[in-house]
Homo-oligomer: A and B are copies of this chain.
């Protein structure tokens, strides 16, 4: 598993309120906004605001456990790398939270939790472009 973080998802209880805080409050510019998620391009990584219940459903964990939580994502260049990394993580002590599956947004992803329960999504997303040094950019 390369030493990279592609995306940080912050679980939020009120997407509109959080969007206002980061956009109108802190002056950030959203790169993608929908009723379900807000993405910010933050240098070579993406910061995502995502409702707690949606994060719980996506990661296969109880909503109560997602509350207050977040997820890191490690994006890969090839779809088959997702399963390889999830398998390797489990071999070294991670817990599988959600098996890799095709996602409604067109990608393929699963989640593991590290020894303290920190969520890692391992994702192949054809909608994000890779930069030569492993960063990700919104837009393919």
The interface of chain A, by Cβ under 8 A from chain B, is 1, 3-5, 8, 10-14, 17-18, 21-22, 24-29, 40-45, 47, 68-70, 72, 88-89, 91-94, 114-118, 133-135
The docked-state distance in angstroms from the alpha carbon of A116 to that of B19 is 12
A70 lies within 8 A of B68 (CB):
no
Q: List 6 A-B contacts (CB under 8 A).
A: A3-B42, A10-B116, A13-B115, A17-B115, A26-B88, A26-B92
B1 lies within 8 A of A27 (CB):
yes
Q: Which residue of B lies closest to A120 (CB)?
A: B26
With A21-B115, A116-B11: A134-B70 Cβ-Cβ less than 8 Å: no
The docked-state distance in angstroms from the alpha carbon of A91 to that of B26 is 10
Copies in the complex: 2
Would you give the shortest CB distance from A34 to chain B, in whole angstroms? Answer: 19
Q: Which residue of B lies closest to A22 (CB)?
A: B114
Max count, chain B CB within 10 A of own CB: residue among A24, A47, A68, A116? A116
The docked-state distance in angstroms from the alpha carbon of A92 to that of B21 is 7
Q: Which residue of B lies closest to A11 (CB)?
A: B116
Q: Which residue of B lies closest to A17 (CB)?
A: B115
The docked-state distance in angstroms from the alpha carbon of A2 to that of B45 is 14
